[in-house]
Amino acid sequence: MTDNGPQQLRYTAGLRDKKGSACEGGTRVPFFLKYPAIMKESKDGETMTAQIDVLPTLSELCRVDLPKDRKIDGKSLVPLIKGEKVDWSDRALFTYWTRKYPEQYNSMAIQKSGYKLVRQADYNASIEDFELYNLKEDPYEQHNIVSKNKELSKSLKNELDTVYQELILSEDVFGNKFNHTSNVRNK
């Protein structure tokens, strides 16, 4: 597994953009897992997963309880590895890219049900300023369909807004809250 797309122009299998972008070329990465005890042959997964799923997966495989004193966003991939159905296959996954405090809609995306809503500009964007892609039909993000799918776009934008608010209001791993008005950490 890698952490993001390539920083310079490199092979991205035709995916749009590179590191620093919320588009597929900047966020989609390979993930290979070998675990012969439960996986006898190679298979490709269809369910969208992310790095947040690695901890719950390792926890289940190693029979170690997850921490109870914090929210764990990821899901164990063990059922998928075993070929079982999961009730979270249609979950939304949020991505953003920044080297500073996340700014609303600046290089952010949310994916759900095969669709991806992307925004790479300022906070006061209208729905027409977003991009919507059907990744099943357009994995290279070439055809923005936001104008033809306003209700779906607005629904995904609402989910993106909810996740963004949760992100900026949450504590960091040390229990500090981020004061977004002054860009300093407060205890």
Number of domains, the chain: 1
Please give the model's pTM, rounded to 2 decimal places: 0.79
Is residue 11 domain-resident? no
Taking only the tens place, the pLDDT of each residue in 58-112 is: 999 999 999 998 889 899 999 998 889 999 988 999 888 776 777 788 788 999 9
* Domain range for 179: 24-186
**128: CATH:** 3.30.1120.10
Is residue 19 domain-resident? no
Rounded distance, CA 29 to CA 74, Å? 17
Whole-angstrom CA distances from 169 to 77, 162, 165, 172, 179 are 28, 11, 6, 10, 9
